[in-house]
Amino acid sequence: RESEEATLRELRIFLREVLSRIALERKFRNFAKAVDPEEVPDYFAVIKNPMDLSTMMNKINMHEYTSAKDFLVDIDLITSNALEYNPDQDPSDRQIRNYACELKDMAYAIIDAEMDSDFEQTCVDIATSR
Ligand SMILES: Cc1noc(C)c1-c1cc(NS(=O)(=O)c2ccccc2)cc(C(=O)O)c1
């Protein structure tokens, strides 16, 4: 229905705005693009489901998110991948883990504060009705 398309359009506009705010932060620069196998040769042997902010922007534009919940699944993946690939005590592992946790917290905080729960439920209902 037209109104359903209007609702999903509004969701995409909101999710692009959330991603844009996150991607502005310098501390999240290593999550902005896919890990480069030239830079991190064994990454894709360890991490089976890579995810990054630019891939998420592409997924928004491909209409692959039908609710904020779907969007947060990929945010969680960015974070869990960073924790999995960078588990050691050394400062560089610890720093990327901290930034990954801050990215997750920022995404959840924005959505909890700015996403109307009725709007989210409407999005979920549209997805389940399809
Ligand atoms: C992400 C990520 N997950 O595990 C690790 C380890 C990283 C990660 C990846 C890179 N280099 S990269 O070429 O793949 C890249 C650069 C800029 C944006 C996105 C990726 C550098 C660093 C770093 O700390 O300097 C960390």
What's the pLDDT at 60? Answer: 98
As a whole number of angstroms, the distance between CA 51 and CA 71 comes to: 12
| Residue of 27, 38, 39 best suited for mutating to test ligand 1, as the one with most atoms within 8 Å of CB | 39
State the residue for tokens 């489901």: 49
> Which pLDDT tens digits describe the chain residue by residue (130 residues)?
889 999 999 999 999 999 999 999 999 999 999 999 999 999 999 999 999 999 999 999 999 999 999 999 999 999 999 999 999 999 999 999 999 999 999 999 999 999 999 999 999 999 999 9
ipTM of the complex: 0.93
For ligand 1, whether the C-beta of 31 sits within 6 Å is yes
- Read out DSSP for the chain? -HHHHHHHHHHHHHHHHHHHHHHT-GGGGGGSSPPPTTTSTTHHHH-SS---HHHHHHHHHTT--SSHHHHHHHHHHHHHHHHHH--SSSHHHHHHHHHHHHHHHHHHHHHHHHS-HHHHHHHHHHHHH-
What's the pLDDT at 2? Answer: 87
What's the pLDDT at 105? Answer: 99
Alpha-carbon Rg for the chain, nearest whole angstrom, is: 16
For ligand 1, whether the C-beta of 83 sits within 6 Å is no
For ligand 1, whether the C-beta of 99 sits within 6 Å is no
For ligand 1, whether the C-beta of 30 sits within 6 Å is yes
